[in-house]
């Protein structure tokens, strides 16, 4: 089964950068040789390069998406293109199984769908210092206590000043062994469930004022 992540809002990408060791559900499956892509912004030529597409097609945008509907739109587009895409609660899109020979066709279909339903720029632009402060407060007051209740121990959250200066710096540490234990004892049903139970980013309307 191939797992693929859609584009993430800039706020969540900062968290994913520091949870790269912990959030390890995106291992390529049998028959999927290229790495899974995590885009940091609206899909563009860089996405084509990551997917190994030398001659990306011109694609007309159908509509811009928000963090609330982006993953659903992408999964539906892949389904319409003939791929058995399944959207999981953590935003991962599982597709397949398919043979290695089909991977280039899948990558092209993914590229087209990502270009048709890009995340609106407001959600992918670099966060302002004020927005980083909002994310920090959410981490301190909501995310860290929630993860602690799950029995998962994170590293020390840096000071607000240090976080604002380098929000992508890894402060959580490698929690992979703890996640494996949580899966084994039933606290988690799948590896990334902790990020669903304890959202690492504040609500969209709070961070972007789009409510």
Tokens of 161: 């000043």
Token pair for residue 59?
């694609």
Closest CA to 82 of 58, 64, 98, 101: 98
Tell me: the pLDDT tens digits for 74-117? Answer: 999 999 999 999 998 888 888 888 888 999 999 999 999 999 99
95, 71 in Cβ contact below 8 A?
no
Ordered by start, the domain boundaries in the chain are 2-124, 129-208
Q: What is the pLDDT of residues 186-203, one digit of tens each?
A: 999 988 999 999 999 999
Give the integer Cα–Cα distance in Å for 162 and 185. Answer: 35
- Residue range 23-51: mean pLDDT, rounded: 47
The pair of structure tokens assigned to 4 is 């693929």
What token pair was written down for 132?
A: 């980083």
pLDDT of residue 97: 83
Range 140-154 average pLDDT: 97
The pLDDT, as a whole number, for residue 39 is: 33
- Over its C-alpha atoms, the chain yields an Rg (Å, rounded) of 17
Question: Confidence class of residue 55 from pLDDT cuts 50, 70 and 90?
Answer: very high
Beta strand ranges found along 6-155 (DSSP E):
85-87, 92-95
Q: What is the pLDDT of residue 131?
A: 94
CA distances, 33 to each of 2, 54, 81, 88, 107 (Å): 10, 17, 21, 21, 11
* Higher-pLDDT residue of 200, 27: 200
Beta bridge partners of 86: 94
* Nearest C-alpha neighbor of 208 from the set 120, 92, 78: 120
From residue 154, how far is each of 176, 187, 196 by CA, in Å?
11, 16, 16
* Rounded CA separation 43/118 (Å): 6
Please state the pTM of the whole predicted model. 0.74
Contact between 78 and 110 under an 8 Å Cβ cutoff? The reply is: yes
| pLDDT range class, residue 15, cuts 50, 70, 90 | low
């Amino acid at each position: 089964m191939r797992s693929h992540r859609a584009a993430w809002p800039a706020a969540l990408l900062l968290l994913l950068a520091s949870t790269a060791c912990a959030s390890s559900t995106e291992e390529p499956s049998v028959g999927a040789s290229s790495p899974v892509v995590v885009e940091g912004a609206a899909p563009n030529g860089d996405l084509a390069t990551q997917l190994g597409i030398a001659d990306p097609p011109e694609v007309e945008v159908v509509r811009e998406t928000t963090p609330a509907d982006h993953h659903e739109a992408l999964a539906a587009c892949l389904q319409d293109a003939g791929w058995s895409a399944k959207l999981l609660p953590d935003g991962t899109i599982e597709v397949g199984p398919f043979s290695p020979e089909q991977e280039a066709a899948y990558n092209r279909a993914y590229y087209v769908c990502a270009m048709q339903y890009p995340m609106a720029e407001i959600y992918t632009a670099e966060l302002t210092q004020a927005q980083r402060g909002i994310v920090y407060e959410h981490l301190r007051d909501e995310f860290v206590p929630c993860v602690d209740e799950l029995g998962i121990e994170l590293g020390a959250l840096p000071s607000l000043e240090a976080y604002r200066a380098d929000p992508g710096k890894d402060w959580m540490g490698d929690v992979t062994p703890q996640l494996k234990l949580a899966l084994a004892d039933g606290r988690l049903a799948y590896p990334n469930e902790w990020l669903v139970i304890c959202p690492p980013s504040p609500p969209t309307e709070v961070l972007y004022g789009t409510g």
